Structure formats: C-alpha cells, structure tokens
Amino acid sequence: MLTCAETPDAAAVRRPKPPQFSLAHLTVLGCAPPEATYIAARAGYEFVSYRTIYMGLPNEPNYALAHNPQMLRETRAALAETGVGAHDIELARVADGVDVATYRPALETAAELGVRHVISSVWTSDADFARDAFGQLCDLAAGYGIAVDLEFVTWSAVTCLEEAAGVIRGSGRSNCGLMIDTLHYDRSRANPADMDSLPRDWFHFAHFCDAPAEIPSSREELIHTAREARLDPGEGGIRLDAILNHLPVSVYSLEIPNLERVKELGYEEHARRCVAHARAYVAAHPSPAARTA
C-alpha cells in the first residue's frame, strides 16, 4: 500500500527490476556470432555473449571477429537488425606464456559492438604473475570502456570465491568485478552468504545454470558436466535460490551447454527452452538481492 507522500512511480523504483538474460557462447557452441544473435532474438533474450578470443581448444570454432571482417560485418548487421545487445566476450585468460596485450584487437572490436564486459580466468600457479597480468588486462580494457569480470573455475588455478577476491583486490584496479557461475559456485562448496562480505559493485552479471546435486569427484567429471551436460534452472539439484538471494545482479547469462539436447532439439529450440525455464525459475524465486536500479 502506498503512503500519502508516495507516488506510484516512486513505488515502482523501489521494486526490483526483473532480470534480463543473455545467450552465452557455450549454449550454442556451433553457432557463429551472427547466427547466435538471430537465435537470441527469436528465443526471447535481451543480450548475446560471444567467444571472440580464440583459444585453440579441441573442436573449438574460431569466432575471432577482429580477424574476420566478413563475420564482423554480419555480426554488426545482426545486432542492428534484431536490437539484441552484445553483452560480454570471453575468454581473456591469464596464463603462463600469454601476453594480455594480444587481447587488444578483441577488446577494440568488442567495444565497437557495444560490449562492456570481458570474462577472464586464471590458469597460472604464479600468484604474482597472475596479479600483475590481471592488472594489465584491466588497464588495457579500461581504454575501451570495458570491465574485466573474473570467473573462478573449479579446475583452474583460481578455484573459489576467496581466491578470486584476492586477485581482484591485489590488482588495485576499479574496472573489474567477480563473475559468479552458479555451477562453479556450487562445485566449490562455497557458502552463498560469503558473497555478502564483498563489495556489491563487484557483481556485474552471472552465469546461470543448474546441474545434478552430486558433485563429481574427478577433474574429468567436473569438466564433462561444465562443458557438455549442464541443466536448465530448476532441473537439477543446485540450490540456485540460495545463491540468487546473495547475488545482486540484473543480467543472467545462460551458459547451459548440453550436447544431448542440442542433438535432439537443435540449437535454437535448446536456447528457447533454456530462457523459458530460467525466467520461470526466477519468477518463482524472487531474489531480495536483485538490484533496484
């Protein structure tokens, strides 16, 4: 009920905004950025996320837009035609033997497309190198108006919330944040309340997915689930509601690779079901931590 001094508009400002959703690269791995953009639009996403930094992994498509002028033109046209926003790119790894300066073309191209976030992760055991390289990456990205969002991965060199927070603090940079992936958060056995001790402005967006409740005991099994067999929100055993209650973000990037479902449904129908289930889950579990502005 409104008070006498409160207008309907003021009450609306106090209510949490509904989250927006981005279609993550791994969910439609076989789709180049232009196709992923059109799928995101038809399936009802507000944003799309690209992997434009080629890592040379087995069976990995090369979508390095900075080095493919034709694909870049097609991506720019798809974004303009659909109105879908380009939300983030990946993956700017901090790793032994990798010079973060080589990410400049990808960051420049991303900025041209309106991207404001790049995901990073750490794959070196040299803590000093990791801190310094991450700081250099932040400085590079800052020149393009891009924030660097660090993701901890349970089989990387930075495996948990505490370690990731240490890298961010150690960098001393302000254009960085902590990107929570609900799968990795669950697999790291972190307490969702641990996020409450960290600055709220570190949390820009999150990867949102579900998985079986049982946590794999081997690295190989962790990787298999993460890359090939994630589940839609509400289908698995992760206490997603507990995580969301402490996660003050307004954009969820749906990173839900599932090879069996893609074979059965195709990429577009898989993407459509992912976002339908995600919206239904969030609607049924409203988060008090959601941003109101």
- Which runs of E-coded beta strand occur in the chain? 20-23, 47-51, 85-95, 117-123, 147-150, 176-178, 180-181, 206-207, 251-254
Which residue type is seen at 38?
Y
Task: Output the CA torsion 19→21→24→30 (10° steps).
Answer: 160
How many C-beta neighbours within 10 Å does residue 243 have?
20
Spans of the chain, pLDDT less than 70: 1-16, 289-293
Give the C-alpha separation, 33 to 175, whole Å.
26
pLDDT at site 10: 44
Cβ atoms of residues 177 and 203 within 8 Å: yes
Which residue type is seen at 240?
L
Whole-model pTM: value is 0.91
pLDDT at site 288: 73
Q: At what angle do helices 161-171 and 127-142 cross, to 10 degrees?
A: 60
Sequence-distant contacts of 265-270: CB under 8 A, at least 24 apart: 267/27, 267/28, 267/30, 267/31, 267/39, 268/39, 268/42, 268/43, 270/27, 270/28
Give the C-alpha separation, 256 to 238, whole Å.
14
How many C-beta neighbours within 10 Å does residue 292 have?
11
pLDDT at site 289: 63
Give the C-alpha separation, 183 to 18, whole Å.
22
pLDDT at site 103: 98
Cβ atoms of residues 44 and 272 within 8 Å: yes
pLDDT at site 230: 98
Q: At what angle do helices 33-43 and 267-284 cross, to 10 degrees?
A: 50
- Which runs of E-coded beta strand occur in 33-95? 47-51, 85-95
